[in-house]
Structure 1
């Protein structure tokens, strides 16, 4: 049993697979508890860390931003989807399922009532004339089996999921972004605070010619750091859509930099005089788990001896306490009602 009953509803159907099937995986999953790999089931995820975890467990898993258009028509007998947080992403996958499934093939979707699973099942059911089957793990967790009888003349509104669009903007940039990236259509207040104080925070260091952005998203910190400091940026994220958007923004504004798919910059061997990071501690991650240490350790590993690492985190997160394990100097020069900027130097790694 996993910690997510919606996944358990899907996993219980895996044992019935007798022909080629596709499993769409996103950030909701805990890869600590998944079924043994099944050769007939191919997986696809937009998260590099999840892809790597599943591959280590023997799953045939691909990493990309759900490039379902590249897969052959009518190839799969079953498609499995635990409803993701992004509605447009779910609608896009449901629309694509019609093309990917063979005649009489079925889409299995699951999720919680709080996430609107009943609405997703109902909307998917409008695309076929075959009655939808539903079942549940409990009062809050449901699953549906939608069997398609051929391509529908209608599709669900997926907000042109595949396409980058200039969504959030400020006085300097209109950022290319898309659904599937955390906070894709807004400017994060914490990141905005970091940029407001960036020049002041690095004023004593005259040797900054490059920076590493760990967890870049669509590139807000990367673009503004390149603009303000006239430096080259290496931006990393484990989300396929984020990497594509960040690179598109760097290219569009002709800024020096490259965006790389990486998990906490694990595969980057260089050190930088500046590391910037707005970690995802505020978006459902526990502050006492390994993720906190991973971001701090990565920053220390990639910072030069005379460099500066700047984190922005929610006010309640005790980042300083854990940072002392990785850095000699730790200070919190900026504190607001919601955020704080933590400046770290002299890495111990």
Structure 2
């Protein structure tokens, strides 16, 4: 069965004549684009699952995130920027694109109306005032610009920021990058989770699934001295979590992964504040897959602890795949659930 390409990828193929010379595709969300795409070059994604699939295409150099030896200044004649969800990440992605282009290189910006293409155009025109729209299809717009040469090599570290959180008297400094979940603040679901973890030390070994910037693992190390392993699908999250762990001295391992890793060690405690969006769409499929698999990664009697918005239908799945589901804490938006493996 053929993969259905996102609208933005379809529209790029409709304008494939624009892909001249060495091409850099920035923000690929479906690896099935590459076999259909003329030419070759590099294809960057921030999604670990897509990155794994991109590596299977030998005609393109696959890149995970914004820090790679492959992101060489002036290595591209054409840079295609797919508009990300966060405006701040688009600013960073445009800066990367400009650094990759040679002096006369062209930048192609593609985004959907519902993804904020109108705002993205304003950002593009700040970089290249003469940018022009060249196509509109599938609820998308395609814009062309020649931004000129960047002042220097793109460095992801220049976009890194730090903020401090304090829960139950435990203070942790957390790194942030554009596009990461809850950048610059502690989301209320994680705060509620940490309140429950403050009451008793979780049994090691511990895994934080969908760890984001590593807030839970860093805080647990400060609170209880527990090393927490972390998994996340997003490149920026992996970078930030590693920074946070290094800052507090945690020995936990952070890995990029699209879901639980088969054959990995079992854990006595698995903690998660899982996402339920893909882009701007509600999407609980990753958490459903996680709940169907998590028991295989828990030791007998091991605990799953999950925080989620109250409206999400997770208790039934927890009961079906892990064990009797208990509510540890609840407010008007979030609930912290706990279950021990059958």
The separation in 2 between residues aligned to 1:93 and 1:13, in whole angstroms, is 21
**Helix, strand or coil for the counterpart of 2:324?**
strand
- 1:24 aligned partner: 26
> Is residue 226 of structure 1 aligned with residue 221 of structure 2?
yes
Asked if structure 2 preserves the Cα contact closer than 8 Å seen for 1:63 and 1:240, the reply is no
Change (3 A) 1:97 1:224: closer
Say which of 149, 152, 165 aligns to 1:151.
Answer: 149
| Number of aligned positions between the proteins | 334
- Pair 1:336-2:334 in alignment: no
2-structure distance, mates of 1:246, 1:83: 24
Q: Aligned equivalents of 1:45 and 1:229: distance in 2? A: 36
Aligned residues of 1:132 and 1:147 also touching (Cα < 8 A): no
Q: Which residue of 1 aligns with 2:163?
A: 167
Cα distance in structure 2, aligned partners of 1:88 and 1:161: 15
Structure 2 residue 128 is the aligned partner of structure 1 residue 105: no
Which residue in the other structure is 1:117 paired with? 117
Q: CA RMSD in A?
A: 3.1
How far the C-alpha of 1:173 sits from its partner, in A, is 1.4
1:37–1:59 contact (8 Å) kept in structure 2:
no
> Quick one: distance in 1 between partners of 2:103 and 2:328?
62
CA pair 243-96 structure 1, distance change in 2 beyond 3 A: closer
1:3 Cα deviation from its structure 2 partner: 6.6
Contact kept in structure 1, 2:189 and 2:308, CA below 8 Å: yes
Partner of 1:5: 7
> Please, what TM-score do these two structures have when normalized by structure 2?
0.84
After superposition, give the CA deviation of every residue in 1:280-299 in whole Å (9 maximum; x if it has no partner): 02674433x3x233221343
Q: Distance in 2 between matches of 1:248 and 1:38?
A: 38
**Quick check: 1:314–1:339 contact (8 Å CA) kept in 2?**
yes
Counterpart secondary structure, 1:328: coil
Does 2:75 match 1:75?
Answer: yes
Residue in 1 that maps onto 2:267: 272
With over 3 angstroms needed to count, the CA separation of the structure-2 counterparts of 1:271 and 1:164, relative to structure 1, is: same
1:301 paired with 2:296, answer yes
Residues in 1 aligned to 2:266 and 2:70: alpha-carbon distance in whole angstroms: 37
The alpha-carbon deviation at position 8 of structure 1 amounts to 2.6
**Are the structure 2 counterparts of residues 59 and 194 from structure 1 closer, same or farther at C-alpha, using a change threshold of 3 Å?**
farther
Structure 1 338/251 Cα, relative in aligned 2: closer, same or farther at 3 Å?
A: same
Quick one: distance in 2 between partners of 1:308 and 1:314? 20
Between the aligned partners of 1:53 and 1:98, the Cα distance in structure 2 is 26
Answer whether contact 2:102 2:149 (CA < 8 A) is retained.
Answer: no
Which residue matches 2:193?
194
| 1:243 maps onto 2:238 in alignment | yes
Q: CA deviation at 1:81?
A: 1.4
- Structure 1 residue ranges, 4+ long, deviating more than 4 angstroms after superposition: 1-4, 30-35, 56-59, 128-131
- Give SS of 2:145's match: strand
In 1, Cα distance between the equivalents of 2:341 and 2:333? 27
